[in-house]
Amino acid sequence: EAGVAQSPRYKIIEKRQSVAFWCNPISGHATLYWYQQILGQGPKLLIQFQNNGVVDDSQLPKDRFSAERLKGVDSTLKIQPAKLEDSAVYLCASSFGTPNTGELFFGEGSRLTVL
């Protein structure tokens, strides 16, 4: 079974530029999550989708971050304009069962460096 696919793996941009990350979850997984992992810290939830509806985006900096999940499958996370503090690994995860109460399957992440 294919895992969670993410791209690009690495991205370096200047501050105030924009960037987009793509995620393809495991087939059949209804719930999709975007986490931000700053170096030396645990993952922090940015947004959670159930099918193509948003379940939780309380920690998403909505003035600069946006995310969508079209047709309940793939998802895109966008940052515009980027700040230095956005440097982090952006992890996409998906799960089959009830959100947050079962196994999350993570992709390898997209590492963003903002200069």
Partner 1 sequence: GENVEQHPSTLSVQEGDSAVIKCTYSDSASNYFPWYKQELGKGPQLIIDIRSNVGEKKDQRIAVTLNKTAKHFSLHITETQPEDSAVYFCAASRGYNQGGKLIFGQGTELSVKP
Output 18 or 102, the one with its CB closest to partner 1: 102
Kindly state the number of chain residues that form the binding site for partner 1, as judged by CB under 8 A: 21
Taking the complex as a whole, the smallest distance from the CB of residue 3 to partner 1 amounts, in Å, to 9
Q: Provide the H-helix boundaries in 1-115.
A: none
Check binding of 5 to partner 1 (CB under 8 A): no
* Cα separations in angstroms, 92 against 2, 9, 31, 83, 115: 14, 12, 11, 20, 23
Within 10 Å of residue 94's Cβ, how many Cβ atoms?
A: 25
Stretch that binds partner 1, among 15-23, 43-51, 64-72, 75-83 (CB under 8 A): 43-51
Residues 1 and 102 sit within 8 Å (Cβ to Cβ): no
Judged by the rule CB under 8 A, the positions of this chain that interact with partner 1 are 4, 40-45, 48, 56, 91, 93, 98-101, 103-104, 106-109
